[in-house]
Chains A and B, each alone.
Chain A
Amino acid sequence: MSKKRNIKILMIIISTLFVLLMLVFPLASVLVNSFSKGLEFYFNSLKTEYFFSALGLTCIVTFITVIVNSFFGIIASYLLTRYSFAGKHILATLIDIPFSISPVIAGLAFIMMFGRLGWATPIIDTINSITGWNIKIVFAIPGVVLATIFVTFPFVSREIIPVLNAVGTDEEEAAAIMGASGFTIFRKITFPHIKWALAYGVVLCSARAIGEFGAVNALSKTRGMTFTLPLEIDALYLSGSSDSIVAAYAVSSILVLVSVILLVIRNILEYRSDRIKISVEERAEIKED
């Protein structure tokens, strides 16, 4: 028994040290450094035009990404769990590509498509000449959005698919036998099951969208126009003066703050869905006794 306890203590020490060294200290030093030139400097470095541009763009990109990916994620998970068709497994694997592919490649892929020599560029040009619009993809906001969607699109569906699989189709069939339409079934039966998974997927998707660097970096070159917060931090840092480096830390601290908030939301969501489940089961057991 005491040997088992020792192992437990040892494992606690190792894990704690590891988390401290790898995560907590580095992040703490970001915060400490961001205040190294005083509070006034901190707030001043958050008052630049570049910062507001980057913050605004990050919010817009994250918002669009979450909307698009939630919509896609719900449809894809429903399709993959409720229908069988040829190539289903291939589709499921394709959806997971962003998990395994380097984000830089995602960025480059869109350059290959929509860049000067890209095969889709003539199509965009044609659309522009007919409608009189001036749609630009690469090195413009649409490219940033596309790249972010690319790297985050499995998050929602990966959360929902296991839930839909676990819930099964019985309840939906029961509703169908009683004459409920497809939309009613989704609204009244399916959606209540997946709402927490969806919320969880949205949080994960947002966190990743806000922090995405590699894919966006390949497609965004204009500071103050198409830079998101991570790119802004990079630009500040690379400019090399001691002031701008501290400013980079200040902007980083905002990202850290957002991450912490998302983490808290994530844990609340997790706790909530668990607690509902547990309390209901406990009550049921009491009843059966």
Chain B
Amino acid sequence: MYIELKNVNKRFGDFQATKDISLDIEKGQLVALLGPSGSGKTTILRMIAGLEMPDSGDIVIDGKRVNDIPPVQRRVGFVFQNYALFRYMTVYDNIAFGLDIKKMDKKAIKARVSELLELTELTGLEKRYPNELSGGQRQRVAFARALAPEPGLLLLDEPFAAIDAKVRKELRQWLREMIHKVGITSIFVTHDQDEAVEVADQIIVTNNGQIEQSGTPFDIYKLPQTAFVAEFVGNPVFVKNYNCLRGFTDGDYDYYIIRPEFVEAFKSDNIHFKEIIDFSQKGIIKDIMFCGNMLQVSIDVAGQEVVTHRSMERRSISVGEEMNVIIYRVFAVSGNEVTLLENSFLKEMDLTGRNREKYLYSDDGYFAG
């Protein structure tokens, strides 16, 4: 393991920022620390960097316990949330700063800086000041500055938080590609699940100063292991009175978590669903929200509100309309346990999963219903 945290505790006054945290990160991985604000993710990052000292526990980088080693000797690069570019220095001086401090030869500094400028596509901007750059350019300077002293580990605190939505998506891809290209082990902190899922190789979900789950984005999304992860990831709807949902009458759970993709709603004359229409139940459309590439539809099913997404290619619907609703699966929560439950009717007929595509992608065209 390249980075190990063992039973790390950190307290700020009355606030326990991390509780007995242990984690392992392999070399070369791009890891997301995902969690709500106050969950301890930034504290973990800052402790790895050496900006905070843990109260107890060990931090190990590359086989060496670094608790008592100052930040610079840990060989970490840090990209701050607002980039923390040196406002009174040019782009060049910003990137060269860490090399200057190391008393590197001027020629070598120049070569390294131009190499990084090229890598981050900032060539030509070296004489600019940070205030003269766009958000995306600033992030790239911060990235280049952190990489300049050739750290073994790159830490990024909410790297996309300060960028407007339009550029953010582009930059996610850019950063992902760049980090893989450089091949540096990286950890970034985010509260945005989409960001974590899209960018990271591995996600560590934190909550209340503890680690809830660690795994690939796919596992985190599809197989949440704790109630918190099931609630934090995806767009969950909570259903308390779950016995009224057809196909889910068994069991004793606290509540269900239903994601939009678990719910199918179709009109009663839709031939593509005729095989399973008997397993559906009626629901009334309460609200339709236009989300650009799809509709988000709230449906009242036996007094329970569920939400589904609807492709814009399908027939139009309106508020108050009656729909047939089938719920494919749910996350059933009891205590902190999460169980994935399949619709019992569909399961019996082997209609979940494997056969579902038949209904969605029929001969009549994509989402013809």
Residues on A facing B (Cβ under 8 Å): 168, 170-171, 173-180, 184, 188-189, 192-193, 280-281, 283-284, 287-288
Contact = CB atoms under 8 A, between A and B. Distances in A.
A232 to B, nearest CB: 44
Interface in B7-57: 49-51
Contacts of B50: 177
Given A177-B71, A179-B72, A180-B101, A288 B80 contact: no
A189 B86 contact: yes
A192 B93 CA distance: 14
Given A173-B84, A174-B80, A280-B132, 14 more contacts: A170-B82, A171-B84, A171-B85, A173-B51, A174-B145, A175-B101, A176-B72, A178-B98, A178-B149, A180-B97, A180-B101, A184-B101, A280-B131, A283-B131
B309 to A, nearest CB: 34
B87 A193 contact: yes
A173 B86 CA distance: 11
- Label chain A's interface by main secondary structure: helix
B187 to A, nearest CB: 14
A91 B134 CA distance: 41
Contacts of A177: 49-51, 71-72, 76-78
Contacts of A179: 71-72, 98, 101-102, 149
B345 interface: no
Interface in B113-166: 129, 131-135, 145, 149
A283 B76 CA distance: 33
24 contacts: A168-B84, A170-B80, A170-B82, A171-B86, A171-B87, A173-B51, A173-B78, A173-B84, A174-B84, A175-B97, A176-B71, A177-B50, A177-B51, A177-B71, A177-B72, A178-B101, A180-B101, A188-B86, A193-B87, A280-B131, A280-B132, A284-B133, A287-B132, A287-B134
Interface of B: 49-51, 71-72, 76-78, 80-82, 84-89, 97-98, 101-102, 129, 131-135, 145, 149
B129 to A, nearest CB: 7
Contacts of A284: 131-134
Contacts of B51: 173, 176-177
A178 B74 CA distance: 10
A288 B129 CA distance: 14
B78 A174 contact: yes
Contact of A175 (B76, B86, B133): B86
B71 A281 contact: no
B129 A280 contact: yes
A176 B88 CA distance: 17
Contact of B131 (A176, A184, A281): A281
A286 to B, nearest CB: 9
Contacts of A170: 80-82, 84
Contacts of B101: 175, 178-180, 184
B190 to A, nearest CB: 18
A178 B97 contact: yes
A288 B78 contact: no
Contacts of B71: 176-177, 179
Contacts of B77: 177
Contacts of B135: 288
Contacts of A192: 87-88
A192 B86 CA distance: 10
Q: Which among B85, B88, B129, B149 has the highest number of chain A CB atoms within 10 Å?
A: B88
Contact of B72 (A178, A280, A283, A287): A178
Contacts of A173: 51, 78, 80, 84
Contacts of A178: 72, 97-98, 101, 149
Query: Which 7 A-B pairs give the minimum distances between C-beta atoms?
Result: A179-B72, A170-B84, A178-B98, A192-B88, A280-B131, A174-B84, A177-B71
A180 B145 CA distance: 14
Nearest to A277: B131
B144 to A, nearest CB: 13
Nearest to A281: B131
A216 B107 CA distance: 59
Contacts of A175: 86, 97, 101
Contacts of A188: 86, 89, 97
A283 B130 CA distance: 11
Contacts of B84: 168, 170-171, 173-174
Contacts of A176: 51, 71-72
Nearest to A169: B84
A180 B149 CA distance: 13
Nearest to B128: A287
Nearest to B157: A170
Most chain A beta-carbon contacts within 10 A, residue among B131, B133, B134, B135: B131
Nearest to B51: A173
Contacts of B129: 280
Contacts of B149: 178-179
Contacts of B85: 171
Contacts of A168: 84
B48 to A, nearest CB: 11
A165 B127 CA distance: 28
Nearest to B12: A84
Contacts of A281: 131
Contacts of A171: 84-87
A81 to B, nearest CB: 16
Nearest to A175: B97
A234 B71 CA distance: 61
A168 B77 CA distance: 19
Contacts of B82: 170
B263 to A, nearest CB: 41
A280 B88 CA distance: 11
B132 A283 contact: yes
A174 B81 CA distance: 11
A177 B76 CA distance: 8
Nearest to B167: A288
Contacts of B133: 284, 287
A284 B135 CA distance: 10
